[in-house]
Amino acid sequence: MGIFKLFSKKEKKYIEEEQVISGTSGNTTVEVKKEGKRAVKLTSKVEQIGYIKDNCEIILESNRQIEEAKAEYQAVTSYLTDMQKIDLIPQEERENLEDAARKIINLTKERNKLQNRNNILTDSQYRLYERYELQIPRELPTIKENEEYQNMIKQDMEHLEKERKRIEQEQKDIIKKQAYLKGIGITTAIIVLILFGVFSVLGQYTEANLTIPFLLTVLMGMVLAFYIFMEARNNTSANAMIQVKRNRQIMLMNKVKIKAVNNRNYLDYTYSKYMVDSYEQLKANWEEYVKAKDEARRYQSNTQLLEFYNNELISELKKYELADAEIWIYQPSAILDSKEMVEVRHRLNVRRQKLRERIETNTNQKEEAYSSIKSTMKTYPECVDEAEKLLRRYRLELEE
> Which CATH number do you get for residue 244?
1.10.287
Q: Would 286 be classed as within a structural domain?
A: no
Distance CA 57, CA 144 (A): 78
pLDDT in tens, 105-129: 998 888 888 777 777 788 888 888 8
Q: Would 22 be classed as within a structural domain?
A: yes
Are residues 266 and 346 both part of a single domain? Answer: no
For residues 203-218, give the mean pLDDT. Answer: 74
Task: State the total domains in the chain.
Answer: 2
Are residues 171 and 235 both part of a single domain? Answer: yes
Are residues 192 and 77 both part of a single domain? Answer: no
Domain end marker among 228, 253, 275: 275
pLDDT in tens, 148-176: 998 998 898 888 888 888 888 888 887 88
Confidence of residue 400 (pLDDT cuts 50, 70, 90): low
Q: Would 301 be classed as within a structural domain?
A: no
Distance CA 391, CA 161 (A): 104
Are residues 75 and 134 both part of a single domain? Answer: no
20, 140, 163, 242, 277 from 261: Cα distances, Å:
99, 20, 21, 28, 17
Phi/psi at 394 (5° precision): -90, 0
Are residues 153 and 246 both part of a single domain? Answer: yes
Domain end marker among 256, 275, 294: 275
Q: Would 196 be classed as within a structural domain?
A: yes
Are residues 141 and 267 both part of a single domain? Answer: yes
Element (H, E) at 30: strand 29-32
Distance CA 103, CA 101 (A): 5
- Would you state the pLDDT for residue 26? 33
Q: Is the pLDDT of residue 288 over 70?
A: yes
Are residues 84 and 221 both part of a single domain? Answer: no
Are residues 137 and 258 both part of a single domain? Answer: yes
For residues 207-228, give the mean pLDDT. Answer: 77
Are residues 85 and 145 both part of a single domain? Answer: no
Q: Would 289 be classed as within a structural domain?
A: no
Distance CA 136, CA 329 (A): 42
pLDDT in tens, 368-383: 999 999 999 888 888 8
Are residues 140 and 240 both part of a single domain? Answer: yes
Domain end marker among 257, 275, 293: 275
Which residue segment(s) compose the domain that 239 sits in?
Answer: 129-275
- Would you state the pLDDT for residue 243? 83
Distance CA 87, CA 336 (A): 11
Q: Would 167 be classed as within a structural domain?
A: yes
Confidence of residue 357 (pLDDT cuts 50, 70, 90): very high
Angle at 283 between CA 277 and CA 289, to 5 degrees: 110
DSSP bridge partners of 41? 29
Angle at 144 between CA 141 and CA 147, to 5 degrees: 150
Are residues 143 and 226 both part of a single domain? Answer: yes
Distance CA 296, CA 285 (A): 16
45, 61, 129 from 380: Cα distances, Å:
9, 25, 82
- Would you state the pLDDT for residue 66? 95
Q: Would 243 be classed as within a structural domain?
A: yes
- Rg, C-alpha atoms of the chain: 55
Q: Is the pLDDT of residue 57 over 90?
A: yes
For residues 182-192, give the mean pLDDT. Answer: 82
Lowest mean pLDDT among 36-40, 66-70, 197-201, 227-231: 36-40
Are residues 134 and 231 both part of a single domain? Answer: yes
Q: Would 387 be classed as within a structural domain?
A: yes
Where is pLDDT greater, at 21 or 330?
Answer: 330
* Residue 87 burial (CB count, 10 A): 11
Which residues fall within 8 angstroms of residue 206, CB to CB, at 6 or more apart? none
